[in-house]
Amino acid sequence: MKVKLTIWRQKNPDSKGQFITYPVDVVNGEMSMLECLDVLNETLMGRGEEPVAFEHDCREGICGSCGFMINGIAHGPLPATTVCQLTMRHFKDGDELVLEPWRSRSFPLVKDLVVDRRSFDRIIQAGGYVSVSTGNAPDGNAIPVGKEIADRAMDAAACIGCGACVAACPNGSAALFTGAKIAHLGILPQGKPEQDRRAVRMVAQMNVEGFGSCTNIGECTGVCPKEIPLEEIARMNRDYLLGAWRERGNVVTAIAPVTDWNFGEK
Amino acid sequence: MSTAVAGQRENRTPSFWQSTNGKKAVMAVTGAILFLFVVGHLAGNLQVFEGPAKINAYGHFLRTIGEILWAIRIILIVCVVLHIVATVQLALLNWKTRPVGYSRKKAINSSYADRTMYWSGPIVLAFVIFHLLQFTAGYIHPESQFIDGDIYHNIVAGFSVWWVSAWYIFSLLLLGFHMRHGLWSMFQSLGLNHPRHTPVLKQAALWITIVIVAGYISIPIGVLAGWVR
């Protein structure tokens, strides 16, 4: 099976990018999209050309490193799948696949298909944690958590922070990501004490990062490899509305967005 | 490749109104109030099918309550202004979030009504202005005579002009699209979503919209068909 990969090539953040088409011989339909790019890169390196840069780590759909648009859909046409788990048998012989990086001003492009998603890290840094006392490990099951509550929290915690929600959103909103991160802690008793502050700070950081507004249309959840539901966005809105009122007397700080890279050569 | 520049604490954070979530909450509340008006306005105007005496008396009643009418008008105007200001500000923000666009982009999970809120809103606003000038103020009354206080006559004369009716029906269909999305979206923006209740709410939003739009459209259709004359 042969496919044509039309890939966005861009040397660095400042240069002008363009699409370049590469014919790729897919040896095996069980190869993943990323393995297909590996094959292409071997060929390119063999010819002395620059390989296609793409982000990847676990290659089992749980780390959130990989991700790009395939023919206008984040993570490709298969639902609930990251590109590393997307096998080539889902495409037909002779298909042209257009691979494009996430497009968002809050995800500045680094190179080719790699974007800088540190804005997500800063949202987590702003409040996506629970404060725990140091010392001995607490006894297991010291805090009883109901099964349905644990399940709800786990569903939200499944978010891997890949950025597909932002990439798919016509408004470039990070509501689904921020919602999932606020919800998975706020649902659990361990996260309750900081619930208000967490929502206010994370929403503030999300806004400082320049993400767009949520229009509740659901494109994000459609492409989400973990199928995080829109419910988590409502959860964020509820926690934010209540938190903004209860925390009205407190000063909220945000972390200054830093978007430049040190490449080492300077 | 390393991140050499560490983030510094920044004190400037958006206020409730400056945050996207806060603005959406304002849009939800104002949208809900405007929806109540849409229901009330329909209930009042369907009296046209009960004959001239009934609807003209209703119009006269509205004009006699004076301060209350103006209080309602001011609330509605404030809601319209807040709803629009929030939308425009959010739209200006959203258009900046993707400086480099996609070469191709497929919508896979949103409805037509969801994606066309930016179109249905402004067209409905243009319609509301035209509608107020035609039936409330009487400045515009194409091919008909406006008689202050004779609501029944104004409705029949106004809608007898085919393009006025067509524009009215078209605008009301767009209002339907707007409400189809807005009626459940307002709950989402205010943080109310439930795995079991939200699907029911979405269905309810569709049927409430159909009933309301059908109710409004029945008036020009009634005039054009000769049931109301």
Q: Which of A103, A233, A239 sits opposite B101 (nearest CB)?
A: A103
- Tell whether B102 is covered by a domain: no
Query: Is the Cβ pair B21, A69 closer than 8 Å?
Result: no
Q: Indicate the residue of A206, A222, A255 with minimum beta-carbon distance to B109.
A: A222
Q: Is residue A127 situated within a structural domain?
A: yes
Q: Is the predicted pLDDT of residue A60 greater than 80, yes or no?
A: yes
Contact A216 B115 (CB under 8 A): no
Average pLDDT over residues B191-214: 96
Q: Which pLDDT belongs to residue B229? A: 80
Q: Do A207 and B13 touch (CB under 8 A)?
A: yes
For residue B210, the enclosing domain spans: 20-95+110-225
User: DSSP states of B89-111 as a string?
Assistant: HHHHHHHHS-SS--S-----S--
Rounded distance between C-alpha atoms, residue A177 and residue A236, angstroms: 10
Tens of pLDDT, residues B16-58: 999 999 999 999 999 999 999 999 999 999 999 999 999 999 9
Two tokens, residue A186: 């706020």
- For residue B4, list chain A residues with Cβ-Cβ distance below 8 A: 262
HEC secondary structure over chain A: CEEEEEEEECCCCCCCCEEEEEEEECCCCCCEHHHHHHHHHHHHHHCCCCCCCCCCCCCCCCCCCCCCEECCEECCCCCCCCHHHCEHHHCCCCCEEEEECCCECCECEEECCEECCHHHHHHHHHHCCCCCCCCCCCCCCCCCCCHHHHHHHHHHHCCCCCCHHHHHCCCCCCHHHHHHHHHHHHCCHHHHHHHHHHHHHHHHHHHHCCCCCCCCCCHHHHHCCCCCCCHHHHHHHHHHHHHHHHCCCCCCCEECCCCCCECCCC
Tell me, what's the pLDDT at B3?
47
- Mark whether A241 and A127 lie in a shared domain: yes
pLDDT for the residue A256: 81
Residue A103 confidence (pLDDT) = 97
The pLDDT tens digits for A189-213 are 999 999 999 999 999 999 999 999 9
The per-residue pLDDT for A266 is 44
Nearest to residue B190, comparing CAs of A236, A185, A153?
A: A236
Q: Looking at the predicted structure, is the pLDDT value of residue B4 above 80?
A: no
Q: What is the pLDDT of residue A113?
A: 98
Tens-place pLDDT, residues B107-128: 999 999 999 999 999 999 999 9
Q: Which CATH number covers residue A81?
A: 3.10.20.30
A64 with A80, same domain: the answer is: yes
The reply to whether residue B20 touches residue A213, judged by beta carbons under 8 angstroms, is yes
Residues A104, A133 within the same domain:
no
Which of 27-86 (B) contact A at CB < 8 A?
A: none
**Six token digits for residue A87:** 């096998």
Q: Which of A9, A98, A115, A215 to mutate to test the interface with B (most CBs of B within 10 A)?
A: A215
Does B14 fall in a domain? no
Burial A232-256 (b: 16+ CB within 10 A, else e): bbbbbbbbbbebbeebeeeebbbbe
Which residues of B are less than 8 Å from A204 in CB distance? 13-14, 19
Chain A interface, mutation test: which of B8, B94, B179, most A Cβ atoms within 10 Å? B94
Is A213–B94 a contact, with Cβ atoms under 8 angstroms apart? yes
Report the gap between the CA of B60 and the closest CA in chain A (Å): 41
- A106 vs B97: CB contact, 8 Å cut-off? yes
Q: Residue A123 has what pLDDT?
A: 96
Residue B187: closest CA among A239, A203, A216: A216
Asked if the Cβ–Cβ distance from B114 to A204 is below 8 Å, we say no
In a shared domain, residues A95 and A179: no
User: In terms of domains, do A173 and A99 share one?
Assistant: no
CB pairs under 8 A between A and B: 185
Report the share of chain B in percent with pLDDT over 90: 84
Domain count, chain B: 1
pLDDT at A66: 97
Q: Work out the percent of chain B whose per-residue pLDDT is above 70.
A: 95
Q: Are residues A96 and A150 in the same domain?
A: no
pLDDT beyond 50 at A61? yes
With bands split at pLDDT 50, 70 and 90, how would you rate the model's confidence at A152? very high
B114 and A71 within 8 Å at the Cβ level: the answer is no
Nearest to B188 among A216, A255, A260 (CB): A216
Query: In what order do the strands lie in the sheet containing A73-74?
Result: A18-25, A2-9, A96-100, A69-70, A73-74
pLDDT digits (tens, 9 = 90+) for B47-86: 999 999 999 999 999 989 889 999 999 999 999 999 999 9
Q: Total structural domains in chain A?
A: 2
User: Is residue A251 over pLDDT 50?
Assistant: yes
CA distances from A64 to A56, A172, B156 (A): 8, 18, 62
For position A262, what pLDDT does the model report?
58
Task: Give the pLDDT band (50/70/90) at residue B11.
Answer: low
Q: What is the pLDDT of residue B34?
A: 98
In a domain, B105, yes or no: no
- Residue A136 shares a structural domain with residue A234: yes
Which run of H or of E encompasses B28? helix B20-45
Q: Do A215 and B11 touch (CB under 8 A)?
A: no
Residue A26: band (very low, low, confident or very high) from pLDDT cuts 50, 70, 90:
confident
Residue B218 lies in a domain: yes
Identify whether residues A36 and A80 lie together within a single domain. yes
- Is residue B149 pLDDT above 90, yes or no? no
Q: Pick from A110, A142, A157: which residue ends a domain? A: A110
Which residues form the domain of A87? Answer: 2-110
Judged by CB atoms closer than 8 Å, whether chains meet at B90 and A212 is answered as yes
Say if B32 falls within a structural domain: yes
Residues A201 and A227 in one domain: yes
B61 in a domain, yes or no?
yes
Q: Which of chain A's residues have a Cβ under 8 Å away from the Cβ of B6?
A: 258
Tell me whether residue A260 is in a domain.
Answer: no
Q: Are residues A18 and A70 in the same domain?
A: yes
Q: Which chain B residues are closer than 8 Å to A244 by Cβ?
A: 16, 19, 22
- Domain contains B100: no
Residues 6 or more apart whose Cβ sits within 8 Å of residue A162? A64, A65, A66, A67, A75, A82, A225
Bridge partners of residue A74, in order along the sequence: A69
In this structure, is residue A178 part of a structural domain? yes
Shared domain for A154 and A105, answered yes or no, is no
Extract the tokens encoding A238: 């509820």
- Reply yes or no on whether the pLDDT at A265 is more than 60: no
B-chain residues within 8 Å CB-CB of A81? none
CB spacing of B98 vs A214 below 8 angstroms = no
Mean pLDDT of chain A: 94
Do both A47 and A128 map to the same domain?
A: no
Distance from CA of B180 to the nearest CA of A (A): 12
Output B21-25 pairs: Cβ under 8 A, ≥24 positions apart.
Answer: B21/A203, B21/A213, B21/A214, B21/A236, B21/A237, B21/A240, B21/A241, B21/B189, B22/A240, B22/A244, B23/A213, B23/B86, B23/B89, B23/B90, B24/A213, B24/A214, B24/A237, B24/B86, B24/B90, B24/B189, B25/A237, B25/A241, B25/B189, B25/B190
| Of A122, A173, A206, Cβ closest to residue B7 | A122
HSE-up (13 A, CA, CB side) for residue A232: 30
